[in-house]
Amino acid sequence: MIPFAARFAYRSGRRAAAAGIVALSVLLGACATTPRTDVEPVAASDECVVLLHGLNRSWRAMNKMAGALHDAGFSTVNVDYPSQAAPVEELAPMAVDLGVNQCRASGATRIDFVTHSLGGILLRYRQQQQPIPELDRVVMLGPPNQGSEVIDKTRHWPGAKIFSGEAGLELGTDKDSIPAQLGPVTFELGVIAGVGTINPWMSAMLPNEDDGKVTVESTKVKGMTDFMIVDSSHRYLMASDTVIRNTIEFLRFGHFSHQP
């Protein structure tokens, strides 16, 4: 007969494993969504902002930013796309074109973008392939414009593709990565980088100041118009009041106020 303590430990272990599998399934299910948009028009505005979330996130991550932009007088299109389901070459037209077409349908003559992380790379990739005539101003939050060393160091770990997807694994710093294949930006761009990491384990993989996923230097790109650093982690950049205020400032005037 198996002792009670052993049976209890065995059952507890199975319950913990099952709970982990359920949690992972819920997480991946939340990320692997069908492309969709949340559109909030402003009748008096001819300017529309497309919002693109980052890897392993959804449109909900950009909700606070979208609401603030709408209150500031911008029509908004908050795009949801399956960031883990395909490589950048497939995600870029899927997400970018969906947002642009919704803005065009609203009657907008100027189209802006606010992107987080991977979202910025999707826009750069698509713009290089097929320029958007109405593209005006862009704010990128924590973009891996030069790639991320975290991807370099974790791409061969077991389960890396499950969590990062094909697109995530393309964001390294090597010469064959997607960021390395993109040229200078040709549109008005403001970049906001974070240094308030909440992930010391990942920060230990990065060589310089970082937000837990991307270094400050890696967010920069040739041709950008303005740049600022805020005390925020990668995950919560888009929810920072400082980031939101400066994003609105850049979309209105083409520069950050640089005020906390």
The domain segmentation of the chain, as residue ranges, is: 1-31, 33-253
The residues near 1 (Cβ < 8 Å, ≥ 6 apart) are none
Of residues 239 and 161, more confidently modeled: 239
Report the CATH number of the 33-253 domain. Answer: 3.40.50.1820
CB contact set of 89 (below 8 Å; sequence gap of 6+): 125
Mean pLDDT for the stretch of residues 10-23: 39
Segment among 70-74, 141-145, 206-210, 223-227 with least mean pLDDT: 206-210
238 Rama sector, left if φ>0, alpha if ψ -120 to 50, beta otherwise = alpha
- Angle (CA) 150-128-145 rounded to 5° is 20
Helices and strands (H, E) in the chain, number of each type? 9, 7
Mean pLDDT across 98-113: 96
pLDDT of amino acid 45: 85
| Alpha helix ranges (H) inside 32-87 | 63-71
The structure tokens listed for 69 are 């932009």
Q: Provide the H-helix boundaries in 106-195.
A: 118-129, 149-154, 160-169
184-203 mean pLDDT:
90
Average pLDDT over residues 22-49: 70
Give which of 139, 119, 142 is closest to 49, Cα–Cα: 139
pLDDT of residue 33: 56
Residue range 73-85: average pLDDT?
A: 96
Radius of gyration of the chain (CA): 20
Would you call 229 helix, strand, or coil by DSSP?
A: strand
pTM: 0.85
Residue 139 forms beta bridges with which residues? 114, 190
Look at residue 50 and tell me whether its pLDDT is greater than 80: yes
* Res. 159: pLDDT tops 80: no
217 dihedral zone (left: phi>0; alpha: psi -120 to 50; beta): alpha
The arithmetic mean of pLDDT across residues 215-220, rounded, is 96
Q: Do the beta carbons of residue 77 and residue 49 sit within 8 Å? A: yes
CB 75 within 8 A of CB 100: no
21 has pLDDT over 50: no
What's the pLDDT at 165? 86
68/48 Cα distance (integer angstroms): 13
What is residue 160's predicted lDDT score, i.e. its pLDDT?
65
Q: How far apart are CA 85 and CA 81, in angstroms?
A: 9
Collapsing DSSP states into helix, strand and coil, what is residue 76?
strand
